[in-house]
Structure 1
Amino acid sequence: MTSFEIAAAAGMDAVREHDLTNLAVHMRRLDETALLGIARAVSADRALAAGEARSADEVMHALGVVPRHRWIVRRWLRVLAEEGKLTAVGDGRYRNLVTGGDGEFTAFDGARRALGYPPELTGFFLECIARLPQLVRDEVSVQSILFPDGDFATALGTYSHNIISTCTNRVAAVLVRQILTASPSRRVLEVGAGIGGTTAGVVDELDAAGLSGVDYEFTDLSRFFLVPAAERFADRPWMRFGLFDINTEPDRREGSADLIIAANVLHNAHDVDVVLARLRGLLAPGGHLVIIESCREHYQVMTSMQFLMSGRAGEPRHEFTDFRAGTDRIFLTEHEWVDRLTAAGFGVGPVLPGAGGPLAPLAQHVFTARV
């Protein structure tokens, strides 16, 4: 078996106890719940709810949307129109909002269980949906809902404790172990490490393999994650912790890493091509980049985690300057990631889990690229 086949098999073995049938149906139920919540939030503009034609600006004025979240509401309106719950008039205006019933809410928890998400995530998503009007007005922050009293349990449900994250984190861990086993130098840089959802599996895998000479730097944009990470991984003396912002010029020398891990962070790049070029510059010749990314827009994320992608409070959001400019899109498709990595000069390996498998409807993938 090739290294990719070994990693793919390990990922599927990690979720073997789950029923992987009908995952597309369960994901659709989560989307329908989010759509209902979005429609109800938008219906606070009573003119739109009454069937009057309204522009996006008029809707946002009625809802009291702060500048940094305007992109989210613009995206809501487009998605409602695409889903047939709102009529696009054709001149940038909308009418005939359909708010729906309560059936989607009752189906949510069963879909959540089928997808392996913990109970905390049900509460998080439903609280976000209930508080969408307050979220768009900055009367409450999604951080306060996601990290109540600094607790990471809900966030771990998003990034670790579910079917697709269990699989992709396991795939990434096995790939990292195989890459470092074959490498004479083992300098690892993890960017956007956050709560360490991917990190934990990777360092456990390296420990189990008994690899020596590993220099692992755990980094994130915010110090909020660094102190808990330093405590959590205190028994790994070969780990270091520091700040790293993918959207600024790195303060590290070129060729200073043999492997870079980027799990669920690169979609935040203001310009994907610029960021990939920076990461490529940090890699030594023959170095590897391992990426985990969601490759479709999940509506439940649009009502929750996407608020983390707005600008800072009181500031407008930083606009994308790559091919996503002016679209309010965030996530790249699988093919777009392969194209951008190739354009950046990487050799790209097979995408895991592959298309056509039982996990394909969840649309989260591991990409491996080499300088």
Structure 2
Amino acid sequence: MTHSHKQHGHHSAHDRHGHTTEHAHERGAHDQALILDLDARVTAPLTDDVIAWLPLVGDPREIVDLGAGTGAGTLPLLARFPEARVTAVDSSAEHLDRLRAKAREAGVADRVRTLLADLDQADWPDLGSPDLVWASASLHHMADPDLALRRTRDLLAPGGLLALVELSGFPRFLPEDAPAERPGLEEALHAVSDRWHTGHVPHRGADWAEKLTANGFRVEGERTLTAELEGSGDPVVVEYALTSLRRLRESVVDALVPEDLAALDRLLDSGDPGGVAHRDDLTVRTVRSVWAARRSD
């Protein structure tokens, strides 16, 4: 999942209380970039499915990726549409640095333009007239997503398409009855995190079809995709789970009872036989909701 706040949903305790030190901020930004990279690798088939489903009228030549992060959408879009160029917009210089490095490795650097910009600011940079705007897990973090949608509508070339992708929930990694000493621990952790996000990320879970219609779009397709990937023994999935759960721990630690915290720390302990790194029931479960829309005028 960037826009300036796209953190795969896991905000640190420092962020919540306004006491982020410069070191903690840098560590948090690095962890965020790592999660985005891991998420892109794990969910690549899901992203490819979304792109293949889009009701496009011909292959797009100019694409804008709003909240591009480290390239989870940019690189698959370039691979799918070999004649296209992508303008990748993000408010994180580190994320865009990673995106450019990936583009060089893939041999498509000449087809990527990166723009460092905060899309909550009054003026957006010149993004041209794209045939396709891709906005994945970014709009719900914006201060005024309705304004962002209207600006996006005005950008689109005639017949152009907006692909809006949102997380229907954060990934889950464990069975409902795990761990044995605290069954249902992961859902309890997410419930605590959800309560915090309700007050701090109010547009998460918005009715995007309604917002699209209210802001000058015609919804031409809507789809929910679910992915479930067995990850036991897969080092990428293990690292994804550990990094995600560590970030989740930071965001909920103040609200956990000691028994839950102890059980979570055992899951995160690489030396514990019951830890995530050694479990044979590790599975990534994630859901994406997608809307495809064109200007209604």
TM-score higher than 0.5: yes
Question: Which structure 2 residue ranges, 5 or more long, are not aligned?
Answer: 1-7, 172-186, 229-284
Partner AA of 1:284 in structure 2: A
1:240 to 113, 116, 141: 113
Q: In the superposition, relative to structure 1, how do residues 270 and 132 fare at CA in structure 2: closer, same or farther (>3 Å)?
A: closer
Matched, 1:227 2:97: yes
The answer to whether the 8 A contact 1:219-1:243 is kept is yes
Residue type at the aligned position of 1:204:
A
Equivalent residue number for residue 319 of structure 1: none
Matched, 1:179 2:71: no
Q: How does 1:130-279 map to 2 (within 5 A)?
A: 132=13, 136=17, 137-139=19-21, 141=24, 143-145=26-28, 147=30, 152-157=33-38, 159-162=39-42, 165-175=43-53, 179=56, 182-183=58-59, 186-207=61-82, 212=83, 214-234=84-104, 235-236=107-108, 237-248=110-121, 249-252=123-126, 256-279=129-152
Give the match's secondary structure for 1:228: helix
Provide the alpha-carbon RMSD of the alignment.
3.8
Partner in structure 2 of residue 337 of structure 1: 208
Q: How far did residue 179 of structure 1 move?
A: 2.3
Structure 1 residues 225 and 328: alpha-carbon distance in aligned structure 2, compared to 1, 3 A threshold: closer
Pair 1:329–1:240, CA change in 2 (3 A): closer
Give, as a single letter, the amino acid of the residue that structure 1 aligns with 2:35: T
The answer to whether the 8 A contact 1:174-1:202 is kept is no
1:198-224 deviation per Cα after TM superposition (whole angstroms, max 9, x unaligned):
2222222224xxxx3x22212211222
Q: Take 2:90 and 2:214, find their aligned partners in 1: how far apart are those partners?
A: 26
Which range is displaced more, 189-198 or 230-239? 230-239
- Of all paired residues, the percent bearing the same amino acid is 21
TM-score computed with the length of structure 2 as normaliser: 0.57
User: Structure 2 CA distance, aligned partners of 1:147 and 1:269?
Assistant: 21
> In the aligned structure 1, how far is the partner of 2:13 from the partner of 2:92?
25
Residue 273 of structure 1 deviates from its aligned partner by 1.1
Say whether the 8 Å CA contact 2:85–2:111 is kept in structure 1.
yes
Supply the AA of the counterpart residue of 1:228.
R
Question: For residues 100 and 194 of structure 2, what CA distance do their matches in structure 1 show?
Answer: 25
Change (3 A) 1:224 1:305: farther
Distance 1:199 1:285 in 2: 22
Greater per-residue strand proportion = 2
Confirm or deny: 8 A CA contact 1:142 1:304 kept in the other structure.
no
User: Residue 287 in 1 paired to residue 160 in 2?
Assistant: yes
How far apart in 1 are the matches of 2:163 and 2:195? Answer: 23
The CA distance in 2 between the partners of 1:196 and 1:260, in whole Å, is: 14
Kindly state the Cα deviation for residue 138 of structure 1 after the two structures are TM-superposed.
2.3
Q: Which has the higher contact order (CA 8 A, sep 6+)?
A: 2
**How far apart in 2 are the matches of 1:286 and 1:152?**
34
Structure 1 unaligned segments of length 5 or more: list them. Answer: 1-120, 310-323
Q: 1:268 to 1:154 in 2, by over 3 A?
A: closer
* Alignment partners' CA distance in 2, 1:348 and 1:275: 16
CA separation of 1:281 and 1:342: change in aligned 2, threshold 3 A? same
Q: Structure 2: how far apart are the matches of 1:284 and 1:301? A: 40
Note if contact 1:291-1:367 (Cα within 8 Å) is conserved in structure 2: yes
Q: Which residue of 2 aligns with 1:68?
A: none
Residues 74 and 86 of structure 2 are in contact (CA less than 8 Å); yes or no, is this contact kept in structure 1?
Answer: no
> Partner of 2:211: helix, strand, or coil?
helix
Larger proportion of helix: 1
In 2, distance between residues paired with 1:167 and 1:290?
A: 17
Distance 1:143-1:262 versus aligned 2 partners, 3 A rule: farther
Deviation at 1:260, TM superposition (A): 0.6
Given that residues 78 and 85 in structure 2 are in contact (C-alpha distance below 8 angstroms), is that contact kept between their aligned partners in structure 1? no
CA contact (8 A) 2:170 2:286 kept: no
Q: Secondary structure at the residue paired with 1:257?
A: coil
TM-score by length of 1: 0.47
- Structure 1 229/304 Cα, relative in aligned 2: closer, same or farther at 3 Å? farther
SS at match of 2:37: helix
